[in-house]
Amino acid sequence: MTPLYIHMMKVGIYARVSTHDQQTLPLQLKAMRQYVKQRRWKLVQEVEEVGSGAKQRPKREELMKAARRREMDAIVVWKLDRWGRSLPDLISTLTELRDLGIAFVSLTEALDFTTPTGRAMIGLLSVFAEFERDMIRERVKAGIAQARAEGKRLGRPQTAAAKAAEVKSLFKNGWNKSQIARELGISRGSVIGMLK
């Protein structure tokens, strides 16, 4: 009789706390370790990240690189907001993990993407992320249209250099540099620079 080999799931856990909320770190880690033990998975990487609202999460990126190298089969997090910086970021990383065949579990929301229901949730989250992008796009377009209707100038404000002809004209007419700067709403240094 041929022996039956069962592949043990290799798991990475990711815990992140803000600089002001570090006391929850042990709680997160304990809950995730217990979950991994209950599932009879093998913990191969444990990542802790501390920081408030950081755009870059280097430790999370290290975990993603390990996932890309297929060093694990699943990632467990305490909460979705601990993993994703924003909804689009969350969707893109979850989609990448799904495409890599890496399972994802969020304990607090009871989302387990190793199940059919969990995999369906990724699809729903993608729909919501697309909806959010569309809503933002529509609000921006409406805001631009409203500003134009009110006669507001759009784009970057004019720089002082665009007023060079006026500066030279006023100076020829006897205005001093400080008066020109006040009149045109630019710095005295800009006026001096244009008159050199």
What are the residue numbers of the active site?
18
Select the highest-mean-pLDDT range: 13-17, 21-25, 33-37, 56-60. 33-37
pTM, entire model:
0.60
Instruction: Work out how many domains the chain is built from and give that number.
Output: 2
Taking only the tens place, the pLDDT of each residue in 100-149 is 889 899 988 888 877 777 777 777 776 776 777 788 888 888 888 888 88
More confident residue, 153 or 4: 153
How many residues belong to the chain?
A: 196
Residue 82 lies in a domain: yes
Same domain as 81, residue 169: no
Same domain as 164, residue 118: no
Q: Are 29 and 13 in contact (CB under 8 A)?
A: yes
Q: Range of 24's domain?
A: 10-128
Tokens of 47: 């990542």
- Closest to 84 (Cα-Cα) out of 20, 114, 128: 128
Q: Are 41 and 11 in contact (CB under 8 A)?
A: yes
d(CA 34, CA 37): 5
d(CA 50, CA 142): 39
Residue 141 lies in a domain: no
pLDDT of residue 156: 63
pLDDT at 186 over 50: yes
Angle, CA 35 vertex, CA 17 and CA 57 arms, to 5°: 30
Same domain as 183, residue 96: no
Per the prediction, the chain carries an average pLDDT of 83
Q: Are 195 and 167 in contact (CB under 8 A)?
A: yes
CA atoms within 13 A on the CB side of 174: 0
Same domain as 174, residue 81: no
Q: How far is CA 109 from the centre of its chain?
A: 20
- For residue 157, name the pLDDT band (cuts at 50, 70, 90): low
CATH at 121:
3.40.50.1390
- For residue 4, name the pLDDT band (cuts at 50, 70, 90): very low
Least confident of 31-45, 73-87, 106-120, 160-174: 106-120
- For residue 162, name the pLDDT band (cuts at 50, 70, 90): confident
Same domain as 114, residue 54: yes
